[in-house]
Amino acid sequence: MKKNNSADVVVIGAGVNGALLATRLAKAGKSVILLESGPKVSRGELVERFRSSAFKSDFMSPYPFSPMAPQPRYTPEPNDYLQQLGPQAFNAQYIRIFGGTSWHWAAQLWRFVPNDFQQHSLYGVGKDWPISYQDLEPYYYEAEVIAGVGGSPDNGSPRSKPFPMERVPASWLQQRVTARLAPDFTVLDDSTGRNSRSYDGRPACCGNNNCMPVCPIDAQYHGGLAAQQAEDSGVQVITEAVVYQLEHDAQGRIVAANYYDWNKTRHRVTAQTFVLAANAIETPKLLLMSTSERFPQGIGNARDTVGRNLCDHPAIGVTFDVDEEIWPGRGPVSPCSIGQFRDGEFADALRKGIRADGSHLYPAMPYTAYARINDSDISALYAYFMYGVKADDTQPEKTALPFPFNLRFSMAAWNLLFLDGKPFTPDPSQSAEWNRGAYLVEGLTHCSTCHTPRNFLMAEESDKSLQGASLGTWYAPAITSAALQSDDQWSRESLAAYLASGHADNGATAAGPMLEAIDKSFSRMTPDDRAAIATYLLPAVDHEDDSTDADADSEEPTVGLTPVTGDDTPDMLSDMTDGEQIYRNNCASCHNLEGQGLNGLPALTKHPVLEKPNADNVAMVILDGVWPAKGQGMLSFAKTLNDTQIADVTNYVMQDIGNSAVRITPARVKALRQGGEPSLLLPLVRGAMVAGVLVVIGGLFWWWRRRR
């Protein structure tokens, strides 16, 4: 036996992981020995072996085979290196060579999505990981920099930084597949370690299409590059070293590795630390072979689990014919994927308004906004509904829609016209907080559903996004940056506080649908998310200069005054309008005589609702009251006051307290009681259908007359 070799660390396996670790250790000042069972072969030799092979579809053909370091082979004849003793055959392919199996791979470097780490919590299966996606995210990026990864940023894995590499240009095949599958499927660029430009001393991909079994120009990252870097960093590399046993001391700690070289000479290396990086089959094989009196079943195998529960990434392949020339074989392999099959039926319902049975949902559910939600949040919503909401056996009432809206297939045409299925794309020129706010406003919180006006087909008018709209009864005000900036009562802080509680220091008080949204949604968000929404809706505005004037003009609620309710003298009443009398008799006990507020209840003076373009919200508050989940509410006057009285008191509040020229009529109040003005869409559609039928009848009659 030759003289022993020794180092601080011995790494067994010169694949990409073992080689990268060896390099990192060497650069940290450690002495490292890297053992590899296979030979060191140049890329040029591998390319020549592939081009000379009669079996181009055999990805193992370029790689030398040795009985000293056998590797699985299935063509042209299987070598039965892997003994298939289990219930299912596992025909794995791996290479025993300097650089490992990533010499022949498609360079796919996908990150997990966050939900992959919470399989049990979210889906009730398996076990949760002890770490989260965010724990790994910086290391994902570090690995991407090493390999030069590029890809699609909207594949469900949140990123702190852009890909270090631009995407490889799409081949004609990819372009045609993308076009033909749209809009039903979105084809995304894979995350691949393949150069689209010169990077780390390697050229850009030239589209040879034989990435598997070997990239001919090293445009694709592989373990051979990592292994060579390890050697160049001072790591002692020993190839053709087949480790057959690990030795341990009295405490059970590994202290040595025994290996054969290809001349069948035995060697022994020692170290303080050993790293097993020989792949998922050779590593447990070595542990099981290392038996002793202390470890009769192999090292680390006291519970008989070593070598069991192997999990690969299963795949299904299909072959099909197409009706156009697509020129396969040009460009790199595996350039793109369809990543929309996570929580698929649920995702289709949210993003496309299509139920599991294929029928269409009406856009009462804001799927036009939900189309922008990323895969991670789709999965989180699905998991919440499945495992966070108690099941209810109550049979829901069947939706009853008037003709022709009961013809759900008509929504397919509506979707073609108005559904934009593009996912949210961050603006690289904006901050992470701004982009988070934009994603929430445009997607999850679907603010445009209420705050954007709609056309006669009930589609949002995209050119008027967030500019304010009537909901039939309540009015959703404009919340564009321009609108909020023009109103110096709002700051980012007051807007975030309003979303948290329904109250702001400028006197704003939420009611109606907005109060419901705050109680059930916005108030349950994290403070960071509410701040992000405020940042997106209200870019930084300095109110410092006018704060003194605003404070001087604002009126604080008066504390300690006796309410005034119905105690006015006849002379006083004769000088009052009907609206003022109603206000004094019904409202002053809470809001004070002139709207200053009383006993901590909100003031009406300078309230933002009095500056809206119509009086619907004031009238609706009087009709419906305000019923927050927490805190003080307001009684409804719908049964106490008639339409004229509500119109009178609304106009008094708008004009005398709010100094607004806006008025409301008793007829409008009556309409608000009844749920708003009826939509013109139903008579328009029915009229159009009748006209269409008449045109068809007229055409048939004309044709019949001509035939005569």
3-state secondary structure 196-214: CCCECCECCCCCCCCCCCC
Q: Do residues 276 and 411 both lie within one domain?
A: no
Rounded CA separation 32/648 (Å): 88
Structural contact between residues 58 and 48, judged by C-beta atoms closer than 8 angstroms:
no
pLDDT for the residue numbered 176: 93
The boundaries of the domain holding residue 49 are: 1-105+222-310
For residue 593, give the CATH number of its domain. Answer: 1.10.760.10
Question: Among the residues of 28-117, which ranges form H helices?
Answer: 43-52
Q: Do residues 176 and 230 both lie within one domain?
A: no
Closest CA to 503 of 591, 632, 592: 632
pLDDT for the residue numbered 558: 45
Instruction: Examine residue 549 and state whether it is found in any structural domain, yes or no.
Output: no
The amino acid occupying position 453 is P
> In a 3-state reduction of DSSP, which class is residue 636?
coil
Instruction: Examine residue 554 and state whether it is found in any structural domain, yes or no.
Output: no
Rounded CA separation 533/479 (Å): 11
Rounded CA separation 486/641 (Å): 36
**Residues of the chain under the 50 pLDDT cut:** 1-2, 542-566, 569
Closest CA to 285 of 270, 271, 272, 300: 300
Q: Do residues 270 and 280 both lie within one domain?
A: yes
pLDDT for the residue numbered 3: 52
Bridge partners, 245 (sequence order): 258
Work out the percent of the chain whose per-residue pLDDT is above 70: 92
Instruction: Examine residue 287 and state whether it is found in any structural domain, yes or no.
Output: yes
Residue 211 to residues 316, 418, 562: CA-CA distances in angstroms?
A: 20, 41, 85
Q: Do residues 527 and 438 both lie within one domain?
A: yes
Buried b (16+ CB within 10 A) or exposed e, 504-541: bebbbbbbbebbebbbeebbebeeebbbbbbbbbbeee
Q: Do residues 226 and 295 both lie within one domain?
A: yes
- Round to the nearest angstrom and report the end-to-end CA distance of the chain: 111
State residue 212 phi and psi, 5-degree precision.
Answer: -110, 120
Structural contact between residues 189 and 151, judged by C-beta atoms closer than 8 angstroms:
yes
Rounded CA separation 143/111 (Å): 10
Rounded CA separation 201/164 (Å): 15
Per 3-state DSSP, the chain is made up of helix, strand and coil in percentages (nearest 5) of: 35, 10, 55
Q: Do residues 17 and 160 both lie within one domain?
A: no
Q: Do residues 99 and 118 both lie within one domain?
A: no
Q: Do residues 166 and 291 both lie within one domain?
A: no
How many Å separate Cα 480 from the centre of its chain?
24
> In a 3-state reduction of DSSP, which class is residue 311?
coil
Question: For residue 498, what is the DSSP state?
Answer: H
Residue 528 to residues 142, 359, 429, 485, 519: CA-CA distances in angstroms?
A: 27, 38, 20, 21, 17
Q: Do residues 126 and 91 both lie within one domain?
A: no
> In a 3-state reduction of DSSP, which class is residue 160?
coil
Q: Do residues 354 and 263 both lie within one domain?
A: no
Instruction: Examine residue 552 and state whether it is found in any structural domain, yes or no.
Output: no
Q: Do residues 351 and 412 both lie within one domain?
A: yes
Q: Do residues 630 and 499 both lie within one domain?
A: no
Instruction: Examine residue 544 and state whether it is found in any structural domain, yes or no.
Output: no
pLDDT for the residue numbered 561: 38
Query: Given the structure tokens 């100094």, which residue do they identify?
Result: 659
Instruction: Examine residue 12 and state whether it is found in any structural domain, yes or no.
Output: yes
The number of distinct structural domains making up the chain is 5
Rounded CA separation 392/384 (Å): 15
Rounded CA separation 517/450 (Å): 11
For residue 77, give the CATH number of its domain. Answer: 3.50.50.60
Instruction: Examine residue 561 and state whether it is found in any structural domain, yes or no.
Output: no
pLDDT for the residue numbered 576: 84
Instruction: Examine residue 216 and state whether it is found in any structural domain, yes or no.
Output: no
Rounded CA separation 212/194 (Å): 13
